[in-house]
Structure 1
Amino acid sequence: MTNADRTRTRSDWSAVRLHVVTGKGGTGKTTVAGALALALAAGGARHGERRVLLVEVEGRQGVAQLFDTPPAPYEERRVAVTPDGGEVWALAIDAEQALLEYLDMFYKLGPAARALRRFGAIDFATTVAPGIRDVLLTGKTCEAVRRRAAPDAGRGADHDRVFHYDAVVMDAPPTGRITRFLAVNSEVSGLARVGPIRNQADAVMRVLTSAQTAVHFVTLLEEMPVQETLDSIAELRDAGLPAGGVIVNQARPVVLPEDRLKKAAEPGGLDLAELADGLRPVGLADPDVVAALAQLGSEHARRVLLESGQRDLLAESGAPMYELPQLADGIDRVGLDTLAAELRRQGAA
């Protein structure tokens, strides 16, 4: 039984402050990341106003499109407020800007770094050496996780805010490269024996390998994304990185018992005469209509059984599972709130 079958009274990830969301392309990764950010920001009536940062690292401005806001510059901007006062902020991390920030922070090269940018050196470093880019993206994200709140940042009398953000959600690269993306700092740490680069890499890995972090996998109940999810979970665990939950997106409700589904899936498994009798009161007993509906019913039954098998494979991973419904009206703020409420109900936030 998945978490979708019951309501949770607390989050499965209450100790987690960095939620990394990955998934095969086309599974709705960015949508789920946005919904998770909203879910984590909610609950302010009980816990004080919550503030969540949603980080984008792939340069697609997908978060801006999701929340129907202008393309985000390299700064943290509020993009949504929950009914109980929680806030979702967004940051589209630009690797060039992050490198300039890094050089100024650790080497005090602010003006010199800007001169390097004019000569194209910054663009060269972040484009030709993808590992450097990943170091900067993960480093900036972990800085937001560790950032302490200002002394007057607690906006409610009962909210003793320790960190600037209560949680950070990263809309991360796809499953095919998530492990290498997150583990890149361990490679840098091995190359740089001493100095600020080594210290920064170690600090990032301490966050990414700790109980503060969980990597969640978004999938559809289809063979390719499910297999890629299972492979990535195993790879992540082998690398010592914390696998989180599996979020099944666009799940179809199962309305018939398995024996009825199996019968309907068989060729000629549906009794056309019985089906016609059931449709006659609504004026749909025409033989051609009955035959077409029977074919659709058989196809649906086969699809549901296939999805059930994929669900069983995911369950074997041992990761907590959550299911989000397919929304008939598409994704807008109402749809995001619906998905966020489901994630909270099932204990994912």
Structure 2
Amino acid sequence: MARLHVVTGKGGTGKTTVAAAMALALAEQGKRILLVEVEGRQGLAQLFDVPPLPYVERRIAHGPGGGEVFALAVDAEAALLEYLDMYYHLGRAGKALEKVGAIDFVTTIAPGLRDVLLTGKVYEATRRKVNGKLAYDAVVVDAPPTGRIAPFLNVNTEVAGLAKVGPIRNQADAIMGMLRSDITRIHLVTLLEEMPVQETLDAVGHLEALDLRIGSIVVNLVRNSPLDDDALALAVKGKLPTAELTRGLKAAGLTIGDDLVETLAREAHDHAIRVGLERENRDRIDALGKQVTELTLQPDGIDQGVLLDLAEEFRG
């Protein structure tokens, strides 16, 4: 039933890439998907190698089976102008306020209002209908990182000191109702490292305390070990058989020397320790009892072909 997918994660975990791959995964068999950016970084434009996104929905990619992905970079100031025109009919007057810097002033002294404007545009796009049909089958949001996601989505609290009644308050209530409904899921991106996993665990607790629904935990940049469990156990102890290492090096056509064998043994030891730490962090994620999606490491970087491969992993 979910039609609004909010993607968050600690900085550096690849949440923008994951949001893009998720949008492509959803854009199948003729479906129209809107991919929304709210942080002003133009990360989607760089990822899809298109010009900077304006405050206008623009098609940026095709999905399998004739689907389409549209993108939108939501700007708080532009959203406020749209809001003033929609509710107060201040078209020209609103633009005059922009020229004198009043809009930037208002959103700076009232950061809660900025989040209401950003989420408000997402709310409008998710509910918009054209000729009686939803304009988009799903909306995917490249949201702020985990450290800020709870206040970003908790718009009711953010506007409590700004408006008790009136259009702003009514919009905040409506947005909160949608975010807490069956159509919305929050997805958290992490790596199998201590800090990203801890931030994910903390964010899940904060979001669930707000009665927001978790969709999946996306473990990104997953690396598969070439060693089996027995070899990993020996490598941790520094007891990999030297004879086997030597045979492997010879089979690879390398010139054998004691230094090379020792170096390989040390790298195997470090690798085994890292695998052990990754497995411990994976156990912490599994303990949440949430759906987990793994995306494999792409060593050659990200382009649209790789995005499609990641989208296939989502569908699989």
Which of 63, 68, 74 is 1:87 aligned to? 68
| Equivalent residue number for residue 295 of structure 2 | 324
How far apart are 1:190 and its partner, in Å? 7.4
Gaps of 5+ in 1: 1-14, 152-161
Letter in 2 for 1:213: T
Alignment equivalent of 1:67, drawn from 42, 48, 53 = 48
Give the aligned partner of residue 4 of structure 1: none
Q: 2:159 aligns with which of 183, 188, 202?
A: 188
Task: Read off the aligned partner of 2:4 and give its amino acid letter.
Answer: L
User: In 2, distance between residues paired with 1:79 and 1:208?
Assistant: 26
Q: Which runs of 5+ in 2 are unaligned?
A: none
Q: Percent identity?
A: 60
Change in Cα spacing, 1:105 to 1:189, as seen in structure 2 (3 Å) is farther
Does the aligned pair in 2 maintain the 1:248–1:321 contact within 8 Å? yes
Counterpart of 1:131 in structure 2 is: 112
8 Å CA contact retained: 1:214, 1:242: yes
- Structure 1 match to 2:262: 291
**Deviation per CA, 1:38-81, whole angstroms, max 9, x where unpaired?**
00112x0xxxx100000000000000001000001110000001
- Residue in 2 that maps onto 1:156: none
1:71 and 1:122 map into 2 onto residues whose CA distance is: 22
Question: For residue 274 of structure 1, what is the aligned residue in structure 2?
Answer: 244
Q: CA deviation at 1:257?
A: 3.6
Q: For residues 250 and 80 of structure 2, what CA distance do their matches in structure 1 show?
A: 69
Q: Tell me the distance in 2 between the aligned counterparts of 1:275 and 1:73.
A: 56
CA distance in 2, matches of 1:226, 1:175: 11
Q: Distance in 2 between matches of 1:330 and 1:308?
A: 24
Instruction: Provide the C-alpha distance between the structure 2 equivalents of 1:255 and 1:261, rounded to a whole number of angstroms.
Output: 9
**Aligned partner (choices 30, 40, 44) of residue 26 of structure 2:** 40
Count of residue correspondences: 315
* Deviation (angstroms), 1:280: 2.7
Greater mean deviation of Cα atoms: 28-37 or 269-278 = 269-278
Distance across 1 between alignment mates of 2:160 and 2:106: 18
Does structure 1 residue 309 correspond to structure 2 residue 280?
A: yes
The 8 Å contact of residues 21 and 217 in structure 1, kept in 2 or not, is answered as yes
Give the structure-1-normalised TM-score: 0.87
Contact 2:112 2:158 in 1 (8 A): no
For residues 212-267 of structure 1, what are the alpha-carbon distances to aligned partners after superposition, in whole Å with 9 as ceiling and x for unaligned?
1111001110000000100100111111111221101100114444343122112x
Which string of whole-angstrom CA distances, capped at 9 and with x for unpartnered residues, describes residues 264-285 of structure 1? Answer: 112x221112321333333333
**In the alignment, what sits opposite 1:103?**
84
After superposition, give the CA deviation of every residue in 1:142-165 in whole Å (9 maximum; x if it has no partner): 1111111225xxxxxxxxxx3100
How does 1:189-338 map onto structure 2 within 5 Å? 192-266=163-237, 268-284=238-254, 285-338=256-309
Matched, 1:20 2:6: yes
> Secondary structure at 1:270's aligned position in 2?
coil
Q: Deviations over 1:79-104 (max 9, x none)?
A: 00123110000000011110000011
Please state whether the residue corresponding to 1:78 is helix, strand or coil: strand
Higher relative contact order (CA 8 A, sep 6+): 1
State the TM-score, normalizing by the size of structure 2: 0.96
What is aligned with 1:52? 33
> SS of 2:65's equivalent?
coil
